[in-house]
Amino acid sequence: MTQLKFLGICGSLRRQSCNAGLLRAAAARLPEGAALTVAELGDIPFYNADLKDKPAAVARVLSQMGAADALVLACPEYNYSLAPALKNILDWASREPDNALLAGKAVAIMGAGGGMGTARAQYHLRQVCVFLDLHPLNKPEVFANAFAGAFDADGNLTDDRIGGLVGQQMQALAAWTRRLRG
């Protein structure tokens, strides 16, 4: 069986982000035969169709997306919707010919935020996934309250229940990815 390559993308650029902590938790709970790399979005400029040449930072992340079998999107909630950094890299990727980097790819969505734990942002992200022809995993869902003691001061997940959901989601993503590749 070939190794599955997951690419984690965090919509928060903050170093101590709880959403980055969810991706670290995912990396620590991968099933056998899967690996997760996390993309760096801090140097990605906003999408601009006037740019003739793709910036090197964008080319780097798009190459990572192309090499990935599935995406793991850590989706913070900004103003009841998804974070601009996450939407921006998806916009860049969608401009590739025939949507080749995204179409048909499996994706897991998780997020940490306020009281509803990014539920609204994840709903909007699922709408974006429809247009991009990404195939989100339906269950288990991972919604974490970033302000209720589930994370330490460095953004690391400390809640065993949420950690269990993250592990289940990574198991399900591996199965979903293999099924879609069929």
Cβ neighbours around 32 below 10 Å, total: 8
Cβ contact 177:106 at 8 Å? yes
| pLDDT digit string, tens, across residues 35-80 | 999 999 999 999 999 998 999 999 999 999 999 999 999 999 999 9
Q: Distance between CA atoms of 55 and 158, rounded to whole angstroms?
A: 37
| pTM for the structure as a whole | 0.97
Cβ contact 166:142 at 8 Å? yes
- Looking at CATH, the fold of the domain delimited by 4-181 is given as Rossmann fold (3.40.50)
**Domain range summary for the chain, segments of one domain joined by +:** 4-181
| pLDDT digit string, tens, across residues 21-47 | 999 999 999 999 999 999 999 999 999
Kindly indicate the confidence band of residue 9, based on its pLDDT and cuts at 50, 70 and 90: very high
Q: Distance between CA atoms of 143 and 52, rounded to whole angstroms?
A: 39
Confidence (pLDDT) at 1 = 59
Buried b / exposed e along 166-179 (16+ C-beta atoms within 10 A) = bbebbbbbbebbbe
